[in-house]
Structure 1
Amino acid sequence: MLLAIVLIVLTNVFFRYFLHIGLGWTEEAARFLLIAMTFVAAAVAVKEWGHFQLLIASKWIPERQHRFVQLFAVLVVLAMSAILVRYGIAITRVSWFQTSPTMEWSMGYLYSIVPVSGALMFVFALEHFFDVLRGGSLPRQGTAHDPHAPAASQNEQGSDQWL
């Protein structure tokens, strides 16, 4: 999506400054792609548990309570994901018959990314919830795509990951 945004914006710059032709649809398309990219990235961040974490605060909480803190963090993400789904569906319904000013697309297409990404976040968070319930731990930030990253010991996992 980022590559498409760059190409669209560069195309607009070329047409506007070299050919003196303004392409109005490019700004709207780039904006829609940026919004979609943001919600897709948020879902990926939940899958990899890569959102902001307060690791320094874990030092203040006894290690035996880290599991409860992790469960609480996942429950917060589940609640926020459910809110995205519920209100995303509502805004998609309301905006379905509105059209974008330049491209004249249904705004419902744009807003439909909200409940879709919310549903994905919910599924990923539910997977994390059951992993923690079974005695596992949340993924460590930064090691999701690194096959050479050393596996964390149980003590490291318990002290470094939550919220």
Structure 2
Amino acid sequence: MEGIRKGLDKLILFICVVLFMLMTVVGTYQILVRYVFKSPSTISEELISYSFAWMSMFAASYIFGKRDHMRMVFFIEKFTKNAQKTVAIITEIVILLFALGVLVGGGSYITSLSMTQMTPALKISMGYIYLVIPVCGIMTSIYSVLNIVDLMKNSKEA
């Protein structure tokens, strides 16, 4: 299980680094052609926007995997350790259901609906832009299952 988590972590971090590097290079190009050559690029802004959206979705999956998302610890800390683990497991189940239902199910639906729509500047299918939603939903679901297994394993050890 830990191997799956580490592999997924490395993959997501690699994707985020590549996207950030792409945004940096394209942003520099955009500034250069706009202010130095007085000829603004039409595709660079759109490419940066979509890259940022993709990077944000991958980073959100990574954060859910690490369980570093925002939590109301002041409320949870009032419970016993056993109740805290139960709440943590229920939270992970809710995240899993959301990821499967909304991100994977809804994301797949919107991806298939938008395959015929083209982006204005890049002239690629919007379905490819929306594809990040079900992909990250699958990743979040995998992380959620791994988190549930870890929580269950830790509660048996305690």
Q: TM-score, normalised by structure 1?
A: 0.80
Which structure 2 residues correspond to residues 42-121 of structure 1 after superposition, within 5 A? Answer: 42-82=60-100, 83-121=102-140
Which structure 2 residues correspond to residues 1-163 of structure 1 after superposition, within 5 A? Answer: 1-82=19-100, 83-136=102-155
Within 2, Cα distance between the matches of 1:110 and 1:50? 26
Q: CA deviation at 1:134?
A: 2.4
Greater C-alpha Rg: 1
| 1:74-128 alpha-carbon deviations (Å, 9 max, x no partner) | 0111011112100000000000111000110111111000000000100110111
Within 1, Cα distance between the matches of 2:87 and 2:99? 18
Partner of 2:13: none
Within 1, Cα distance between the matches of 2:155 and 2:27? 45
Is the 8 Å Cα contact of residues 65 and 144 (structure 2) preserved in structure 1? yes
Q: Which has the higher helix share?
A: 2
Task: Name segments (4+ residues, structure 1) moved above 3 Å.
Answer: none
Within 1, Cα distance between the matches of 2:118 and 2:59? 25
Aligned-pair identity in percent equals 20
User: How many aligned positions are there?
Assistant: 138
Within 2, Cα distance between the matches of 1:62 and 1:50? 21
Query: Cα RMSD between the aligned structures?
Result: 1.5
Unaligned runs of 5+ in 1: 138-153, 155-163
The alpha-carbon distance between structure 1 residues 8 and 136, as it changes in their structure 2 partners (threshold 3 A), is farther
Unaligned runs of 5+ in 2: 1-18
Q: CA deviation at 1:63?
A: 2.2
Within 2, Cα distance between the matches of 1:106 and 1:136? 47
